[in-house]
Amino acid sequence: MDKICCLILNYNLGRMTDKLFEELHLCIDSDTNVIVLDASDKLSGLSIFANKRIEDDYYGENFRKELEIQVAKNEYDWYIMMSNDIYNLPKMNWIRNLTDLANRQNAVIVTPHINKEGTSHRVMHRHNDVYGFRYVNWIDFQTPIIHHSIMKEALKKWDNTLKYGWGIDSLFGIECYNRGLNIIISDEIGVCHYDKKTFKENEDKLSLQQYRQRAMTGERVFLIKHYGEALYNDWIRNLRTMESK
């Protein structure tokens, strides 16, 4: 059975993280290891289930550093970067069901759809006219489940340019597009996501506008540096076609 590593990042929202942790443990098996990374700078925001304290360096960099450690161990087949503001998890072993689906469809990335509209990109919403799953070239990274093979390749390029979080999803999207690898969204299995809850509660020193500007600028520079402008523009055109469907 495939081994799964699930990473949850907590930053001053311990109660929300702990609720997710408890809900998650009702629907996973013994081959799924959950690691709660706690970067809180307030005692009141700590997670009681945290099993690793880290120094905060923003969303993207916090995940990247831990993934480098876990991938180097070669112990896991799949990795999940789970936002701590996910809720209403399915009651079944949905993570195992999704990795099984990915294996059957020869996909290297799979995700549940997001039930609550307005809290993610529209490509993540359930498509009522489609039953089962969809092939896509990009997913919004709220609960991505990523195979070891593509995680290992992406980490060769992933650096702190993407520390703010924006662009990680694009890195994996364009990497898969360039290699002809499959990404799928399940329309049968879904979760809910609070809208910018983590950012709003944490009182970041940057305004949301500043944060977005730095993140989006870094994303474009990063992707063109590693993939070239021609491939980047081709991927963007393909995304627009996908989004218009």
The β-bridge relationship of strands 182-193 and 133-136 is antiparallel
Which tops the pLDDT comparison, 196 or 100? 100
For the chain, what is the mean pLDDT? 88
The count of residues in the chain is 245
* Per-residue b or e along 160-199, where b marks 16 or more CB atoms closer than 10 Å to that residue's CB: ebbbbbbbbbbbbbbbbbeeebebbbbbbbbbbbbeebbb
pLDDT tens digits for 90-130? Answer: 989 999 999 999 999 999 999 999 986 556 778 888 887 56
pLDDT tens digits for 43-63? Answer: 889 999 999 999 998 889 999
The structural domains of the chain, ordered by start, are 4-243 (3.90.550.10)
0.85 exceeded by pTM: yes
Q: How far apart are CA 84 and CA 47, in angstroms?
A: 11
- Cβ atoms of residues 145 and 80 within 8 Å: yes
3-state secondary structure of 10: strand
Query: With bands split at pLDDT 50, 70 and 90, how would you rate the model's confidence at 201?
Result: very low
- Give the orientation angle of helix 229-243 with respect to helix 208-227, to 10 degrees: 120
pLDDT tens digits for 8-31? Answer: 999 999 999 999 999 999 999 999
Section 187-193 average pLDDT = 92
Q: How far apart are CA 54 and CA 38, in angstroms?
A: 6
